[in-house]
A = this chain, B = another copy of it.
Amino acid sequence: MPLKNTQIVSAAQTKFGSLDMSLREMFAEAVDKATVEAGVPKSEIQAAFVGTFIPEMLVHQGHTAPLLLDYAGLRGLPATRHEAACASGATALRAGIMAIESGFYDTVLVAGAEKMTSVTTNEATEALAAAADDQFESSVGLTFPGVFAIAAVAHMQKYGTTEEDMARVSVKAHKNASTNPLAQFQKEITLEKAMTPRYVAWPLKLFDCSPISDGAAALVLTSTEKAKQYTDDSVSVIGTGQASASMNLADRRELTSFEASVVASKNAYKMAGLSADDMDFAVVHDCFTIAEIIASEDIGFFEPGKGAEAVKEGVTALDGDRPINPMGGLKAVGHPVGATGVKQASVVYKEIIGAAGPNQIAKHDTGIMHNFGGTGASCVVNIFRRSDA
């Protein structure tokens, strides 16, 4: 069934980075920006869908939805926390979409946040490992840099992808983020710097890895009828897809493509009645540089094995034919896990309405976002389009 009714009328994020703010403070800031500061009174919000990944281990706090709502001045609303590891934000968004499409609500808040610098980097890595299969992966020492290193090696072996190819993704991310005031790293890097052999898990080096970040993001969804009340610049949600896969990498048929990404994007395209060729740009889940290359193939932007070449040729650059992660991606903007999927939606929204400033893409009517969790055991793909397109 095609989606008919859901519009994004505002979207915002806090600065990402190591912030001197608590989880609840960041969340409240993002909500304020996406509501009152964007012309949507808080009194209009009827329900909230919240993405957080692992606040239990990072800030010793579960049951985050009512707590964060309260601090954002929205005490009392129906509010649930949605979790699918690094795809938590997009699963909250998808729940919000269903809430609008079902007719339950006219106006809802979707928000995500994570406070990660409250613990040491080792503790954060340990907490993130809860997204892998504890019985077969994390308990035997396989944490996420290692898991994605396995995927990188497989891609190198099968397609000849090189460390330099991956480093180029990082250079592009930092270039795009250099003009994004909300990015954790607003600094270009050279290919030589990206190739600095500070290995985290061979072949992945420091600059292949997204950072530990604090941050929050929020957006407001409304029914089409209601949208006009808030803005002439709304963005339609025209397709959404979600899929899962085995948690354990050992159970996958292949390591150079993530099945959940392929299925989720196929379903999103089908719902939208469009194909990858109809997308003007993409925002994909680049938790590691190899993840962006694989995602660009999995969502059909490039043939399997051709993602690295596209980066090399500048096709995915801000001024390329098929821009990917135009604001800087997880790599350079930061990756406060629960916020990421919501922030990705916010990037697509801003590009589509032409509010991306120095990061504005030339052709920006239709965009796709790809948010995945773990080593792709969860994936959500959404397609947005200018409402008057």
A234-275 interface code vs B (CB 8 A; 1 in, 0 out): 000000011111110001000000011001100000000000
Contact of B373 with A63 in the complex, beta carbons under 8 Å:
yes
Contact of A76 with B263 in the complex, beta carbons under 8 Å:
yes
Q: Give complex CA distance A305, B263 in Å.
A: 54
Residues in chain B near residue A264, CB distance under 8 A:
78
Please state the number of chain copies in the assembly: 2
A61 part of interface (Cβ distance < 8 Å): yes
Contact of B134 with A59 in the complex, beta carbons under 8 Å:
yes
Q: How large is the interface on A (under 10, 10 to 19, 20 to 34, 35 or more residues)?
A: 35 or more
Residues in chain B near residue A290, CB distance under 8 A:
none
Which of A99-107, A169-177, A212-220 interfaces with chain B? A99-107
Which residues 220-235 of A sit at the B interface, judged by CB distance below 8 A?
none
Residues in chain B near residue A133, CB distance under 8 A:
61, 67
Residues in chain B near residue A77, CB distance under 8 A:
243-244
Contact of A103 with B104 in the complex, beta carbons under 8 Å:
no
Contact of B83 with A80 in the complex, beta carbons under 8 Å:
yes
Query: Of the candidates B78, B94, B101, B103, which one forms a contact with A243 in the assembled complex, judged by CB atoms under 8 Å apart?
Result: B78
A304 part of interface (Cβ distance < 8 Å): no
User: How near does chain B come to A134, taking the closest CB pair, in angstroms?
Assistant: 5
Query: Of the candidates B60, B75, B246, which one forms a contact with A130 in the assembled complex, judged by CB atoms under 8 Å apart?
Result: B60
Contact of B103 with A63 in the complex, beta carbons under 8 Å:
no
Given contacts A80-B83, A81-B84, A83-B80, contact A66 B98 (CB under 8 A): no
Given contacts A101-B102, A134-B60, contact A247 B66 (CB under 8 A): yes
User: How near does chain B come to A21, taking the closest CB pair, in angstroms?
Assistant: 13
User: How near does chain B come to A293, taking the closest CB pair, in angstroms?
Assistant: 23
A348 part of interface (Cβ distance < 8 Å): no
Given contacts A61-B134, A102-B101, contact A378 B66 (CB under 8 A): yes
Query: Of the candidates B53, B104, B127, which one forms a contact with A1 in the assembled complex, judged by CB atoms under 8 Å apart?
Result: B104
- Residue from the set A54, A66, A373 with the largest chain B CB neighbour count within 10 Å: A66
Instruction: Name A's interface SS.
Output: mixed
**Chain B residue, CB-CB nearest to A59:** B134
Q: Give complex CA distance A377, B60 in Å.
A: 17
- Residue from the set A56, A59, A70, A135 with the largest chain B CB neighbour count within 10 Å: A56
Q: Give complex CA distance A54, B64 in Å.
A: 12
A155 part of interface (Cβ distance < 8 Å): no
Query: Of the candidates B83, B135, B246, which one forms a contact with A83 in the assembled complex, judged by CB atoms under 8 Å apart?
Result: B83
Which residues 17-74 of A sit at the B interface, judged by CB distance below 8 A?
22, 47, 53-54, 56-57, 59-67, 69-70
A358-382 interface code vs B (CB 8 A; 1 in, 0 out): 0000000000000001100110000
**Chain B residue, CB-CB nearest to A251:** B70
- Residue from the set A62, A102, A127 with the largest chain B CB neighbour count within 10 Å: A62
A79 part of interface (Cβ distance < 8 Å): yes
Q: Give complex CA distance A112, B177 in Å.
A: 41
Q: Give complex CA distance A232, B53 in Å.
A: 41
A82 part of interface (Cβ distance < 8 Å): yes
Residues in chain B near residue A247, CB distance under 8 A:
63, 66-67, 70
Contact of B134 with A75 in the complex, beta carbons under 8 Å:
no
A131 part of interface (Cβ distance < 8 Å): yes
Residues in chain B near residue A64, CB distance under 8 A:
83
Given contacts A56-B57, A102-B101, A247-B67, contact A80 B91 (CB under 8 A): yes
Q: Can you show 27 pairs from A to B with CB atoms below 8 A apart? A: A47-B242, A53-B62, A56-B57, A60-B138, A62-B130, A62-B131, A63-B132, A63-B247, A66-B247, A66-B374, A67-B377, A75-B244, A76-B245, A76-B260, A78-B243, A78-B264, A79-B84, A79-B242, A79-B378, A80-B91, A80-B378, A81-B82, A83-B83, A95-B98, A98-B98, A101-B102, A101-B104
